[in-house]
Structure 1
Amino acid sequence: MFLVQLKDYFEKEVGGYEFSKYGQLNISPLQIHRSKADHKRAIFTLSNEIASLVAADEPSGLARTAARMEQLAQMDNK
């Protein structure tokens, strides 16, 4: 349920995000009649899509270091 709340947050509050792979599964945490395997697949699919969004928004350590060095260089020119 927590992952679905994160999905809803990204869709409504942040905007521009789609969770198409999860949507194609057509499953909800409230559907207790569905199999455990279906729910596992949904959890892993949604987790993967959320992780991909977070990873895309956060630059790598090397990119952050380069950006910080540029900021420091610009401060030195003032």
Structure 2
Amino acid sequence: MKKQELIHLHGLLAQVRDHYEQTLDTEVEHQRYTELGVKPTSIHKSKTDHKAAVFALAEGITGELESTTDTERVSAAAD
């Protein structure tokens, strides 16, 4: 993935996090993300920095989703 694409993905994930927090009035865990100090607008940061930020954001979002969803499993088989 090119750096420009990674920055775009970073921005999209940040928007997903913001939307999730506003819609459900909850906060996604993003301490690790904040500690990295890399924002989607930090275009001077390296590709590796943005990659770490994307992973940290994704982990925070999925962690929050896992804690709020039901534990009931849905069958993967099609009808």
Q: How far 1:61 moved relative to its partner?
A: 2.2
Match of residue 25, structure 2, among 15, 27, 31: 15
Q: Does 1:50 align with 2:76?
A: no
Corresponding residue of 2:40: 29
> % of aligned pairs identical?
29
Q: Which 4+ stretches in 1 moved above 4 angstroms?
A: none
Q: How far apart, CA to CA, are the structure 1 residues paired with 2:45 and 2:25?
A: 29
Q: How far apart, CA to CA, are the structure 1 residues paired with 2:62 and 2:21?
A: 15
Where structure 2 has 5 or more consecutive residues not aligned to the other structure, the ranges are 1-10, 75-79
With CA pairs under 8 Å and 6+ residues apart, which has the higher RCO, 1 or 2? 2
Q: Which has the higher helix share?
A: 1
Alpha-carbon distance change, 10 to 44 in structure 1, aligned in 2, over 3 angstroms: same
**Aligned Cα RMSD in Å?**
1.8
Q: Does 1:3 align with 2:13?
A: yes
Number of equivalent positions: 63
Where structure 1 has 5 or more consecutive residues not aligned to the other structure, the ranges are 65-78
Q: How far 1:13 moved relative to its partner?
A: 3.2
Q: TM-score, normalised by structure 2?
A: 0.68
